[in-house]
Amino acid sequence: MKKINLAKIISKNIATRQSVELIRNELSDITDDLIELDFIDVDFISRSFADEILNLKQEYKRKNIILKFINTNKEISEMFKIVSSQRNKSPKIFLTKIKDLKKPVHQF
Amino acid sequence: MEIKIKFTKSDLIKPTILNLGENVNSFVKIKPEDDNDIDLSDLNWVNPLSILPLASLLSSLKKNKYQFKIIQPLNSSIESYLKAISFYEGIHSLESLENLRHKNYIPIVSLPNHPSDLKNREKLLSCLLDILLERIGCKENLINATGYAFMEMFDNIWEHSQTDCGWFFAQYYKNKGYADICFLDNGITIKGSYSKKGRKTITDHEAIKMALMGKSTKDQDRGYGLWTTKKLITESPLNGKFLILSGQNGYFKDKKQELLFNLNYFWQGTIIFLRINKTKEKIDYTKFIE
């Protein structure tokens, strides 16, 4: 069983969707059925990264390879929970009552 | 040709936007074959929203081999400050940033959008977030709220702008108790991003509205970045201000008002500006995520 330390290969705060490519590079030569993605020492992940790594997990599941997330802190677990729940919903259209200004802009 | 750069000595955002317009419209007149003087001599005040666009414009001139020289500010403190914040080309490496952790600013950072720089970029972004959180409050209370906003704004640059470089600059004003944070790209604008995905007839103003309404250019399960960031910054105890400038339009929100407005100039790309107040309160960012 292979374990990949994400803080080591990416960073302790993981920002972008593209950073998943760094994980892909690590996975490219692996033949194990189960791979642990270790979030130890990772403090924070962005929503975009969480979404993309869940995509990666699904992709590998289709190849019968399990990607397991381990040592996620409370905030990271929360982020995965939120992103997972958003993935199962239809997109919402948020109607904000933005006005187009014809008059001079207020001071701000 | 001489370009006299104008700045306003004001904390208000609107005058800064107007000044930016004057400067952008001046830059449009610059010709590559001329000897151009970029005159900063009258500069007496700098904030991220005024100086980061200028840095990116100057970098663009240099990259495109325009002939120009900069006339430095007469105010020696400002001249020193510009040097300290790495105006105009910015820093690109983690080492440069680590030495500045004790400062009240994060210098101008220009991050290339290139696959081979991915790891360096992630580490640099991580360091930027750490420093920002150290300045504006308790890291444990704010990491998710501020981290969400910070990371989403950067991710938008890489995902949508189709530019080769993203820009960042932040200044913490200790006496005023807030931080000004600016993200910038010289890419295809929000409208351009929607156009690439098939919505070719929309205007800049419609594109900004759509982005703020959560309509993604990507797959159906995404598109919440700007919406959530706007709410987090302006409706949480951060009690902040949120500004977008893209193409010919802009959007502003704080607790008191929400405005969509026309610019009298064209910004090639997108600028996101946040003003975040220092707070000790713990922010439950999940309340703001749809």
DSSP state string for B70-131: EEPPSSHHHHHHHHHTTTTT-B--HHHHHTTTTSSEEEEEEEE--GGGHHHHHHHHHHHHHH
Residue type (1 letter), B194: Y
Tell me the mean pLDDT in the region B77-83.
96
CA–CA gap between residue A100 and residue A107 (Å, rounded): 16
Which run of H or E residues covers position B38?
A: strand B36-39
CB distance A13–B125 less than 8 Å? yes
What b/e string do you get for A39-53 counting C-beta neighbours within 10 Å, with b at 16 or more? beebbbbbbbbbbbb
Tell me the mean pLDDT in the region B248-275.
92
In angstroms, what separates the C-alpha of A18 from chain B's closest C-alpha? Answer: 8
Cβ-contact B184, B166 below 8 angstroms: yes
Q: What is the reported pLDDT for A102?
A: 46
CA–CA gap between residue B161 and residue B166 (Å, rounded): 9
Cβ-contact B186, B269 below 8 angstroms: yes
In angstroms, what separates the C-alpha of B240 from chain A's closest C-alpha? Answer: 12
Residue B68 forms beta bridges with which residues? B36
Tell me the mean pLDDT in the region A102-107.
56
Q: Which residue has the tokens 């910004």?
A: B267
Model confidence, pTM: 0.90
**A5 CB within 8 Å of a chain B CB:** no
Around Cβ B6, how many Cβ atoms within 10 Å?
Answer: 16
Name the residue with higher pLDDT: A108 or B267. B267
Q: What is the reported pLDDT for B2?
A: 92
Mean of pLDDT over chain A: 86
Using pLDDT thresholds of 50, 70 and 90, give the confidence band for residue B220. very low
CB distance A22–B212 less than 8 Å? no
DSSP secondary structure, B214-255, as one string: T--SS-TT---HHHHHHHHHHHSTT--EEEEEEEEEEEEE-S
Residue B181 Cα distances to A105, B10, B109, B277, angstroms:
22, 16, 12, 11
CB distance A82–B144 less than 8 Å? no
Residues A4-29 have pLDDT tens digits of 999 999 999 998 898 999 999 999 88
Q: What is the reported pLDDT for B138?
A: 67
CB distance B221–A51 less than 8 Å? yes
Residues B1-22 have pLDDT tens digits of 899 998 888 888 999 999 999 9
Residues A77-87 have pLDDT tens digits of 999 998 888 77
Pick from A21, A49, A107: CB nearest B14: A107
Pick from A19, A87, A98: CB nearest B122: A19
Q: What residues contact residue B85 under an 8 Å CB cut-off, 6+ apart?
A: B46, B51, B105, B107, B108, B169
Chain A residues touching B204 at Cβ < 8 A: none
pLDDT > 90? residue A62: yes
**A91 CB within 8 Å of a chain B CB:** yes
Q: What is the reported pLDDT for A61?
A: 95
Residue B204 has which token pair?
């800049």
Chain B residues touching A20 at Cβ < 8 A: none
CA–CA gap between residue A53 and residue B103 (Å, rounded): 35
CA–CA gap between residue A73 and residue B257 (Å, rounded): 37
Q: What is the reported pLDDT for B103?
A: 86
CA–CA gap between residue B69 and residue B61 (Å, rounded): 11
How would you classify residue A102: left for phi > 0, otherwise alpha for psi between -120 and 50, otherwise beta? Answer: alpha
Least confident of A61-70, B156-165, B230-239: B156-165
Count of H helices and E strands in chain A? Answer: 4, 5
Residue B151 Cα distances to A11, B69, B126, B155, B204, angstroms:
13, 35, 9, 6, 24
Cβ-contact B110, B166 below 8 angstroms: yes
**A52 CB within 8 Å of a chain B CB:** no
First to last CA, chain A: 57
**Which of B13, B122, B235 is most worth mutating to test chain A (most A CB atoms within 10 A of its CB)?**
B122
Residues B119-163 have pLDDT tens digits of 888 888 888 888 888 877 667 777 778 888 888 888 888 888 888
CB distance B213–A93 less than 8 Å? yes
CA–CA gap between residue B225 and residue B139 (Å, rounded): 21
Q: What is the reported pLDDT for B57?
A: 96
Longest Cα pair distance anywhere in chain A, in angstroms? 65
Using pLDDT thresholds of 50, 70 and 90, give the confidence band for residue A106. low
Chain B residues touching A39 at Cβ < 8 A: none
Pick from B122, B125, B257: CB nearest A106: B257
Using pLDDT thresholds of 50, 70 and 90, give the confidence band for residue B221. very low
Chain A residues touching B251 at Cβ < 8 A: 98
Least confident of A31-35, B2-6, B58-62, B279-283: B279-283
Q: Which residue has the tokens 């998943």?
A: A20
CA–CA gap between residue A30 and residue A56 (Å, rounded): 15
CA–CA gap between residue B7 and residue B26 (Å, rounded): 13
Residue type (1 letter), B277: N
Q: What is the reported pLDDT for B99?
A: 77
Around Cβ A26, how many Cβ atoms within 10 Å?
Answer: 17
CB distance A12–B121 less than 8 Å? no
**A44 CB within 8 Å of a chain B CB:** yes
Chain B residues touching A25 at Cβ < 8 A: none
CA–CA gap between residue A65 and residue A20 (Å, rounded): 17
**Which of B151, B284, B290 is most worth mutating to test chain A (most A CB atoms within 10 A of its CB)?**
B151
Chain A residues touching B210 at Cβ < 8 A: none
CB distance B257–A108 less than 8 Å? yes
What does residue A91 show for φ and ψ, rounded to 5 degrees? -65, 140
pLDDT > 50? residue A101: no
Q: What is the reported pLDDT for B156?
A: 86
Name the residue with higher pLDDT: B213 or B237. B237
Does the complex come out with an ipTM higher than 0.85? no
